[in-house]
Structure 1
Amino acid sequence: MPHKNTSDQILETARDLLASEGLAAVSFDAIARRLGCTKQAVLYWYPSKHDLLAAMFLPWLEAEAETAIQSVSGTTRRDEAVEAFVRAIAGFHFEDLDRFRMMYLLPQTIKQSVKASHDAALLDKIHPVTDRMYGALADRLDSDAKGVRQEALAIHSAVLGLLLMFGLADSVRDPLKHNASEMVSALIASLRST
């Protein structure tokens, strides 16, 4: 593998595996097989699943944030911004539930001892991204109210919770009684100002 692009090739292969075969297919062995190299060559660049996940996570988070920021950029009223944000975030993740699982569920399953040495550096990159995303929504909420950034975080969390339920239903092949579009609309209605 050429030295210059090896890291990018590994990430691209991991993303391809995720998209084509799902989360369970993303392994160092599978990546090595696809690239025609040894597992050790992959481990050289990403010594742990946490390292690989972190390298995949940040570009996804940046794409999610950019989607959210763009969605509210043309809005002027609170309810309009909330609706645009919820629809954009839901659409971004419904497009790829395996990516959602890797972003928001898999990190919760990695043991603390494995994560500890990497967390500070990763958080230093994550915080500015989430701050931009929450700030863009908060700017369109009631500017006189205290806690608009917390409200923006709560709105994002509500969308992620809805996605969690659809991801769970999808993974056990037990469809919910209401479709995604109906539930996104119901969430938006519940978040409207009085």
Structure 2
Amino acid sequence: MQDENTKVKILSAAQEILAKDGLDAVSFGAVARRIGHSKQAVLYWYPNKHALLNAMFLPWLSAEADAAEAAVSEATKNDDAIATFVRAVAVFHLKDLNRFRMMYLLPQTIGGKSKSGPKVVPGDSVHQITNRLYSALANRLSGEAGAARKKAVAIHSAVLGLVLLFGLAEAVEDPIKHTETDLIDALIGSLTAVGA
């Protein structure tokens, strides 16, 4: 059971279950059945649900940063950097709303404000990845570095708000009158000279 491949299979199975059936379906029993091992085998690698969620969260956050970095890598103007960043991050999340919920909603609801309760993710790891995410855009914006960083954080927050709206609409089965593309374009327009 001490095979690193099993650890990878567990994560892959948990992610597949999440994508197909949602968060409530992710359990040690469901993961064990999916990979053909006992529940105890899953618990060997991930002793509690928090450990499993952590293992899923950090690679996803890193993948989001990768998408942002790739999107802005060729941008030479503020508006181009903003537009490509917004579009890339929005598309990254809109293609998998369950993953988005795990990344940005679940950490807020697990453990509450308890100092002794389990944390969803270790802070330093998150900081390193979010620093990379925000720097991808901030480094392409003109002006003072501190102001560019604040703007990058605000733009990322706006994108997350847009994705949250689509996630909520899906969850309550109340479709939005506008397409994803239309609202992404509107957000880009509101953040760039295009919308001025």
User: Above 0.5 in TM-score?
Assistant: yes
Rounded to whole Å, the distance in 2 between the matches of 1:124 and 1:26 is: 26
Is the Cα–Cα contact under 8 Å of residues 83 and 188 in structure 2 kept in the other structure?
A: yes
Instruction: Answer with 30-39 or 175-184: which moved more.
Output: 30-39
Alignment of 1:62-81 (within 5 A): 62-81=62-81
Shift of the 115–141 alpha-carbon distance from structure 1 to 2, 3 Å rule, reads farther
Shift of the 115–137 alpha-carbon distance from structure 1 to 2, 3 Å rule, reads farther
Shift of the 117–143 alpha-carbon distance from structure 1 to 2, 3 Å rule, reads same
Instruction: Report the alpha carbon displacement of residue 141 of structure 1 after superposing the two structures with TM.
Output: 1.3
1:159 maps to 2:159: yes
Rounded to whole Å, the distance in 1 between the matches of 2:116 and 2:50 is: 7
Instruction: Report the alpha carbon displacement of residue 102 of structure 1 after superposing the two structures with TM.
Output: 0.8
Instruction: Tell me the TM-score normalized by structure 2.
Output: 0.90
Describe the superposition over 1:31-66 as per-residue Cα deviations: whole angstroms up to 9, x where unpaired.
Answer: 011122222221222122221111001111111101
Is the Cα–Cα contact under 8 Å of residues 78 and 141 in structure 1 kept in the other structure?
A: yes
RMSD in angstroms over aligned alpha carbons? 1.9
Instruction: Answer with 106-115 or 51-60: which moved more.
Output: 106-115
Instruction: Report the alpha carbon displacement of residue 117 of structure 1 after superposing the two structures with TM.
Output: 5.0
Rounded to whole Å, the distance in 2 between the matches of 1:27 and 1:37 is: 13
Shift of the 115–136 alpha-carbon distance from structure 1 to 2, 3 Å rule, reads farther
Rounded to whole Å, the distance in 1 between the matches of 2:116 and 2:7 is: 20
Partner residue, 1:179: 179
Rounded to whole Å, the distance in 1 between the matches of 2:141 and 2:2 is: 49
Is the Cα–Cα contact under 8 Å of residues 10 and 31 in structure 2 kept in the other structure?
A: yes
Partner residue, 1:89: 89
Is the Cα–Cα contact under 8 Å of residues 75 and 140 in structure 1 kept in the other structure?
A: yes
Q: Which runs of 4+ in 1 moved over 3 A?
A: 112-119
Instruction: Report the alpha carbon displacement of residue 3 of structure 1 after superposing the two structures with TM.
Output: 2.5
Partner residue, 2:10: 10
Partner residue, 2:45: 45
1:60 maps to 2:74: no
Instruction: Report the alpha carbon displacement of residue 20 of structure 1 after superposing the two structures with TM.
Output: 2.2
Three-state SS of the structure 1 residue aligned to 2:174 is coil
Rounded to whole Å, the distance in 1 between the matches of 2:183 and 2:171 is: 18
Shift of the 34–78 alpha-carbon distance from structure 1 to 2, 3 Å rule, reads same
Is the Cα–Cα contact under 8 Å of residues 50 and 115 in structure 1 kept in the other structure?
A: no
Rounded to whole Å, the distance in 2 between the matches of 1:76 and 1:144 is: 16
Which amino acid is the alignment partner of residue 84 of structure 2?
Answer: A
Is the Cα–Cα contact under 8 Å of residues 75 and 81 in structure 1 kept in the other structure?
A: yes
Instruction: Report the alpha carbon displacement of residue 114 of structure 1 after superposing the two structures with TM.
Output: 8.5
Partner residue, 1:147: 147
Give the share of equivalent positions with the same residue, in percent.
55
Partner residue, 1:29: 29
Partner residue, 2:188: 188
Shift of the 79–175 alpha-carbon distance from structure 1 to 2, 3 Å rule, reads same
Instruction: Tell me the TM-score normalized by structure 1.
Output: 0.91
